[in-house]
A and B are shown apart, each in its own frame.
Chain A
Amino acid sequence: MRAFFQFAIFLSAIWLLAHSNASLAHAIILSSAPSAGATVSGDAVAIRLHFNSRIDHARSKLTLLAPDGTSQTLTPAADAPVDELNAEATRLSSGAWRLRWQVLSVDGHITRGDIPFTVH
């Protein structure tokens, strides 16, 4: 009986470890330019992402995915407000682009997401 008892506790521990669906993130975008699904004209876009949290700019990242699948890393502006991640994207060709962001909020949470937009 004792062995059976220990086995059940062991299985409970496995269950605890195996139950993996939780997520840890709370920096979310309150507004963005360009917004998701927007169409922009011209070959340059001013990117401005406004978050609900203070952002660690040095440990956050912006990547542009081009229509042909190539990617380029953008340098976030160092003088942006504490809750914004800003950058300039230039030489954009026409087509469907995707802005991939990843931020670290100052309380240690990592979040990321995509903003699709079209260059006309």
Chain B
Amino acid sequence: MYLFLDIFGYLSVVLRGLTLIAQSFTLGGLAFQMLLWGPLQPKLSVGGLVIEERCRTLLRFSAFAWALLTIASLALDAAALVGTLQLPWSEAVSADFGRADLVIAACALGLAVLVNGPAHRVRSAALLALSLLALAMQTRLTHAASRPDLRWPLLLSDAGHMLGASVWIGGLPYFLIALNGCKAADDWRLIARRYSLMSMAAVAAIVAGGLVMAINYIGSIDAIYGTAYGVMTLAKVGLLLMLLTLGAGNYFLVERLRRDPSTPILRLKRFAEVEIGIGLTVLLAAASLTSLPPGVDLAHDRLNWQEIVERAIPQSLPRLTSPDYDKLTVAQLQAKITLADAGRASAQAAYIPGEGTILPRNAEDIAWSEYNHHWAGVFVVLIGLLALIEHFRWGRWARHWPLLFLGMAAFLFFRADEQAWPLGPAGFFESFRDPEVAQHRIFVLLIAVFGLFEWRVRLRGSNAGPAALVFPLTTALGGALLLTHSHAIANIKDQLLIEMSHTPLALCGVAAGWARWLELRLDGRVHRVAAWIWPVAFVLVGLILLDYREA
């Protein structure tokens, strides 16, 4: 039970993120079918049977996944209640969230079954009714449902926000299937134009719903940068801006396609691929945001602007000399922490079950962690710089930069877990009993394999094939995961300040991954620009790591 409780919080966020993705692909697929494919099909030059079948398969799979993930989420939450309150299962499942989950799962299953048949008015009405019911129940699992005051404007905003995300982000895979299935420029033009209009309406719903929620849940300017909720909202806005930039590029291409049917649409498809990737990141960030208390409720221990600026401005050179393992060496820093802690007792702490107690950190711990981050920053800056140098004719030698990942992996292996072998008393195998050490070891293995892998891709050049896509996908995944990682529930200032540096890291990771994707998947000007963007993003990640401080 304790092991389960230890991973409960993380599993909940992951399940919530996957559920939102499955929900978006289901509702987006239905919107695509009802608003685009159905009305347009008589005007298209292709019969579209293959396209229809592929879309239906994806839709069916998404709806089944939505049902299964919802049941898994219900089982997880109910198990936590049964385990901590010793309730009977029936009582745990019959809570408000349990009833909502059961209705959602039933609706999703109904959708999965109903999408199989041919288009029919009664069938369409049933699909619409099930979708709206599931969406309404989904709002029962959001902040809006638990607000003590007026709830209906927030419930409506949340529903509009999720529906907009579904139509736009969730509709993208179906849009790509349709573009790939059609061969005539007139068909592309009709499909792209209609999807563009749907997306604009969806963006309006996302922004309108988002604004209402931001006003109610954040409430003031200082809560935007002073609370974890505000910072995560900013990250979502940053991702939305990336999506809008790509969407604007596609809009202008569609307009050009209207004037000139010979316009190539490869860029449209590639941008749509990247939009799917960033869109999934937004949904993961949304799942993470759902788990945070609204900023407006956190009146104590908010960060102020001066504290953020003080933390962001480098105070000294990077810490490239390791602190002594055996004894405390930074007494002044310790005094500063003690002084700061003394003034921060006002906020009440809140934990999820099994989260454990956050151990106090002394100056040596902090110096140790900063040293690790700064050296990691050195590695990442070098990787970015060498990737930039590789662009020049005289810099071909720099293409071996992935080998630096091996150096970084070795460094992290020795330094990340000071309590474990070879530095600490815990033996190599014994240390795997600590889940955090096990995670770090897997992470180190991943970095090493990833470095070797990308090195091989570099040596093979344009013959690397789909293997070359592992690097951008893994980088973008890393960025997305950073957005779902730990948050300070009761807004402990130190944790929030650390998170302040993680959010730009995540955004840079996402930008780097998808820029590299575009470099690989496109030619021409976008290819050239993207080839410069991702190494610069890597350098920025390295610089943020070099500026990392915990006190």
State the A residues within 8 Å of B (CB): 1, 4-5, 7-9, 11-12, 14-16, 18-30, 32, 36-37, 52-54, 56, 58-59, 61, 81-83, 102, 104-115
Contacts and interface: CB of A to CB of B under 8 A. Distances in A.
A118 to B, nearest CB: 15
Nearest to A13: B477
Contact of B97 (A18, A37, A106): A106
B449 A7 contact: yes
27 contacts: A1-B467, A8-B470, A14-B442, A16-B477, A22-B10, A22-B484, A22-B486, A24-B12, A25-B9, A25-B350, A25-B489, A26-B290, A26-B489, A52-B297, A54-B146, A54-B148, A58-B91, A59-B85, A59-B95, A102-B85, A104-B81, A104-B95, A108-B97, A109-B291, A112-B350, A112-B352, A113-B348
B143 A30 contact: no
A59 B87 contact: yes
B314 interface: no
A25 B84 CA distance: 15
A9 B470 contact: yes
A7 B449 CA distance: 9
Contacts of A36: 345, 348
A81 B148 CA distance: 9
A26 B292 contact: yes
B351 A26 contact: no
Contact of A8 (B84, B97, B453): B453
Interface of B: 6-10, 12-14, 16, 77, 80-81, 84-85, 87, 91-92, 95-98, 100-101, 140-143, 145-148, 288, 290-294, 297-299, 345, 348-353, 355, 435, 438-439, 442-443, 445-446, 449-450, 453, 456, 465-467, 470, 473-474, 477, 481, 484-487, 489-490
A108 to B, nearest CB: 3
Contacts, number: 191
A53 B147 contact: yes
A99 B443 CA distance: 39
A113 B12 contact: no
Contact of A19 (B294, B445, B481, B487): B481
B297 A30 contact: yes
B225 to A, nearest CB: 19
A74 B387 CA distance: 62
Contact of A25 (B291, B294, B477): B291
Contacts of A7: 449
